[in-house]
A and B are shown apart, each in its own frame.
Chain A
Amino acid sequence: MDFELTQEQKTIRDTAAQFVKHELEPIAAELDQTKNREKLKGILKKLADLGFMGLNVDRKYGGTAAGTVAFSLAMTELGRACASTTVTTSVTNMVAEVIQVVGSEPLREKYIPSLCNGEFAAGGFALTEAGAGSDPAAMRMSAVLDGDHWVLNGQKLFISSAEFAGVFVVWAVSDKEARKGKGISCFLVEPSFPGLRIGKEEKKLGQLASPTNELICDNCLVPKENLLGVPNDGFRIAAAELAGGRIGIGSMSLGIGLAAMDFARDYVKEQARLDLPAFRRRGADRMLADNTTRLAGARFLLLRAAFLKDQKTFYAKEASMAKVYATEAANQACHDAMEILGDYGYTQDCPVERFYRDVRVTSIYEGTSEIQRLIIARELLR
């Protein structure tokens, strides 16, 4: 058993850490407070230029071909500074990856390079609908073939980066008669396609720098060739894709938790020098130790899920285990970091205030904790 990362994986982790230190950390609070989308797009372009938008995508499509372990490490490093930037990067990576895995050669050539090189600011992943979040098979968006085009009608909800994504992966029911989940197809939709509209922007608790909108298809015309994979096979694609996405979100949440703990640790060290009362000190010690231990466990689960994915074996259970454990550990870490910091941690002068808001959604999106447990239990009882 070898816990050592390859030189290449270390290099990617360190490059991400450098980027965080010099580019992302200095502006993360500003991105959150001002919601400056142009600045966010600027930072996304820089990440694309460095090669972070196609980490697990073939070089021939402009990817870095570094694998899932490297992807996980990179998301953790980026997550230490700015969750909004990281989630956008993670989703864009997943969109590029799903096109590579199930897309036809012309679709790959048409869309993946633009996602990897930053010509598209981001990729969009449009699965969730009102009433079809944890149960995506209950979706109602419809797709009807009419000559050379699929006509899409319906409304998607909570779509990250909808405002500036260059391409969306959109799921819709293409066979109404089929059993639930068996008649869903997957499409690549450009924002310029007739009938596609970006709806209202959500007002959120955290990850404020990343916009989240409705996506509305009103007789949206999608060229026939933009169907991704096989007709009516979309639900399987979504399930497979989400498992990979969970590694990204879990890894990001780990980064947020680590950043919160690092901040709290430095604060305790500083306070210890200034004679922190012993009773507070002991409470802080315990929280630092417990959280750091949980986060270390989360890292192992994430890297193992990523490793299994790279081995091309089944990894859905492991991805769910990693996601539920990492995101809950990270939520606890941010909670405890604020507890250690006291009033200061609750102010916007302290990054932990932002971490606390940003981390909350990680145990909700890309499958809630309860859904992860359902997946794990289903695999156990199979």
Chain B
Amino acid sequence: MLKVITCFKWVIDEADVKVDASSRRLILDRVGYKISLYDRNAIEEAALLQEKHGASIVAVTVAPPTAKQCLKDALSRGADKACFVNDPSLVDLEPTQTAALLAAAIKGQGDFDLILCGEGSSDLYTQQVGPILAEKLGIPCGTYVNKLTVIEGEKRVIAERKLDDCVEIVSIQLPALVTVLPDINTPRIPTLKQVLAAGKKPVDNITLDKLESPSEPGLETTSILGATMERRRLKFGAEAENIRAAVGALLKEGVIT
């Protein structure tokens, strides 16, 4: 039976982020959280493999303890077990830190065949965690995958990588790590029975004292500001002089030069 590990990130639902009009500061006090979009595709792909080939699925995440509800979400989407690396300090991690913690947690899970990750997270979208994690575990990595086929009995997968100008089809020896694009599947909404059963599935709680604490961050975030659109509410007619006025207004705003 295939042993699949899916990694996911619990992120702010971007639909809930508001921007303060004057300071452009992000207002995050009423935001909801969700499993990062492409990570949902990764979990769904694991669930599809489970239906087709039979597979055990462990969902792994790194987060502060307050993110506990993410486990039920992941478990209701098909994972058999969740692995929750948590500590209050685990917020705003850099990709290298996240990957190091995931690698340590995954090593503790014993043998595995395939690790599935989303191509990038809905919040930062650095696209780095998957490849760094593969490197840390010393396994091959296929990125930008929008179709995945497991060759039964051969311990390998065929992956279609959607690149800028072509589709590359590669054969990857297992164990391996694959990062998926949203085209690979359409994540299903969990059924009520799955959601209700999720609460009864096992969770590995891994606190930092069981792992090495993450390395110091290498980046410093100086500010995060929202993009704003200001409306000038100027109105112009279609006559010639109005067109001149419109062009004048655009010049004045610096939209055209």
Enumerate chain A interface residues (CB-CB to B < 8 A): 7-8, 11-12, 15, 18-19, 22-23, 49-52, 55, 64, 66
Q: A34 CB to closest chain B CB, in angstroms?
A: 24
**Central interface residue in A12, A50, A52, A66, by most chain B CB within 10 Å:** A50
Other-chain contact of B193, A19, A23, A51 (Cβ < 8 Å): A51
Q: A56 CB to closest chain B CB, in angstroms?
A: 12
B138 CB–A CB distance under 8 Å: no
Enumerate chain B interface residues (CB-CB to A < 8 A): 72, 189-193, 195-196, 199
Other-chain contact of A23, B72, B189, B191 (Cβ < 8 Å): B189
Q: A49-B191, A50-B192, A51-B193 are in contact. List 9 more A-B contacts (CB 8 A).
A: A12-B192, A12-B195, A15-B189, A15-B195, A50-B190, A52-B192, A64-B192, A66-B192, A66-B196
Closest to A65 in B: B196
Could you count the A-B residue pairs with CB atoms below 8 Å apart for me: how many are there? 32
Other-chain contact of A19, B72, B189, B196 (Cβ < 8 Å): B189
Contacts of B191 in A (CB 8 A): 49-51
Contacts of B195 in A (CB 8 A): 11-12, 15
Contacts of A18 in B (CB 8 A): 189
Contacts of A22 in B (CB 8 A): 189
Give chain A's interface secondary structure class.
helix
* A-B contact list, 7 entries, CB within 8 Å: A12-B195, A15-B190, A15-B195, A49-B191, A50-B192, A66-B192, A66-B196
Contacts of B190 in A (CB 8 A): 15, 50
Q: B151 CB to closest chain A CB, in angstroms?
A: 30
Contact assessment for A11 and B196 in the assembled complex, using a CB-CB cutoff below 8 Å: yes
Contact assessment for B199 and A51 in the assembled complex, using a CB-CB cutoff below 8 Å: no
Contacts of B193 in A (CB 8 A): 51, 64
Contact assessment for A50 and B189 in the assembled complex, using a CB-CB cutoff below 8 Å: yes
Contacts of A52 in B (CB 8 A): 192
Contact assessment for B189 and A51 in the assembled complex, using a CB-CB cutoff below 8 Å: no
Closest to A18 in B: B189
CA separation between A52 and B196, bound complex, in Å?
13
CA separation between A23 and B196, bound complex, in Å?
21
The 4 closest A-B pairs by CB, nearest first: A51-B192, A50-B191, A64-B192, A11-B195
Contacts of B196 in A (CB 8 A): 8, 11, 64, 66
Contacts of A49 in B (CB 8 A): 191
Contacts of A7 in B (CB 8 A): 199
Contacts of A51 in B (CB 8 A): 191-193
CA separation between A200 and B193, bound complex, in Å?
39
Contacts of A50 in B (CB 8 A): 189-192
Contacts of A64 in B (CB 8 A): 192-193, 196
Closest to A54 in B: B192
CA separation between A49 and B192, bound complex, in Å?
9
Q: A135 CB to closest chain B CB, in angstroms?
A: 38
Closest to A66 in B: B192
Closest to B193 in A: A51
Closest to B195 in A: A11
CA separation between A49 and B193, bound complex, in Å?
10
Contact assessment for B192 and A15 in the assembled complex, using a CB-CB cutoff below 8 Å: yes
Closest to A7 in B: B199
Contacts of A11 in B (CB 8 A): 72, 192, 195-196
Q: B42 CB to closest chain A CB, in angstroms?
A: 18
Q: A50 CB to closest chain B CB, in angstroms?
A: 5
Closest to B233 in A: A274
Q: A121 CB to closest chain B CB, in angstroms?
A: 18
Closest to B231 in A: A274
Closest to B69 in A: A7
Closest to A48 in B: B191
CA separation between A18 and B190, bound complex, in Å?
10
Contacts of B72 in A (CB 8 A): 11
Closest to B21 in A: A273
Contacts of B199 in A (CB 8 A): 7-8
**Central interface residue in A11, A49, A52, A64, by most chain B CB within 10 Å:** A11
Q: A24 CB to closest chain B CB, in angstroms?
A: 11
CA separation between A15 and B72, bound complex, in Å?
13
Q: A4 CB to closest chain B CB, in angstroms?
A: 15
**Central interface residue in B72, B192, B196, B199, by most chain A CB within 10 Å:** B192
CA separation between A51 and B193, bound complex, in Å?
7
**Central interface residue in A7, A12, A15, A66, by most chain B CB within 10 Å:** A15
Q: B43 CB to closest chain A CB, in angstroms?
A: 15
CA separation between A50 and B196, bound complex, in Å?
12
Contacts of A19 in B (CB 8 A): 189
Q: A6 CB to closest chain B CB, in angstroms?
A: 11
CA separation between A15 and B77, bound complex, in Å?
12
Contacts of B192 in A (CB 8 A): 11-12, 15, 50-52, 55, 64, 66
Q: A52 CB to closest chain B CB, in angstroms?
A: 7
CA separation between A41 and B192, bound complex, in Å?
20
Closest to A70 in B: B192
CA separation between A50 and B195, bound complex, in Å?
10
CA separation between A8 and B122, bound complex, in Å?
28
CA separation between A51 and B199, bound complex, in Å?
17
Closest to A51 in B: B192
Q: A300 CB to closest chain B CB, in angstroms?
A: 24
**Central interface residue in A19, A51, A52, by most chain B CB within 10 Å:** A51
CA separation between A51 and B192, bound complex, in Å?
5
Q: A184 CB to closest chain B CB, in angstroms?
A: 35
CA separation between A11 and B198, bound complex, in Å?
11
Closest to A46 in B: B189
CA separation between A66 and B192, bound complex, in Å?
9
Contacts of A15 in B (CB 8 A): 189-190, 192, 195
CA separation between A85 and B144, bound complex, in Å?
38
CA separation between A18 and B77, bound complex, in Å?
14
Q: A314 CB to closest chain B CB, in angstroms?
A: 28
Q: A334 CB to closest chain B CB, in angstroms?
A: 25
Q: B124 CB to closest chain A CB, in angstroms?
A: 24
CA separation between A52 and B192, bound complex, in Å?
8
